Amino acid sequence: MRDPDAPTVSLVYLARLREAFGQAAERVEIPPEVTSVSALRDWLAQRGGVWAAELAPGRAVRIAVNHALARPDTPVRAGDEVALFPPVTGG
């Protein structure tokens, strides 16, 4: 059973990343050292496989925290919705 008081964030994957990861969203408990967008990305990459490939340094990944485009040093806190996606191609 998950500890209901554990710090969790909602992760959302879009477009190519949703297909690569095989899921559109998940809720994860984040360890204490994951306090920023860049730390979250590195932590997810440690899952290996497609996670390591898609989130490797140098791969163009955009991240939004609570629906606003984030920078690598943007804080990530419990309860946040963090979305990972490729560079956008609308218009």
The residues that touch another protein, with contacts defined as CB under 8 A, are 12, 14-16, 60, 64, 67-69, 83, 85-91
Closest approach, Cβ 54 to another protein, in A, equals 12
Nearer to another protein, 22 or 32 (CB): 22
Cβ at position 7, least distance to another protein in Å: 22
What whole-number distance in Å separates Cα of residue 91 and Cα of residue 64? 19
Q: Nearest approach, Cβ of 67 to another protein (angstroms)?
A: 4
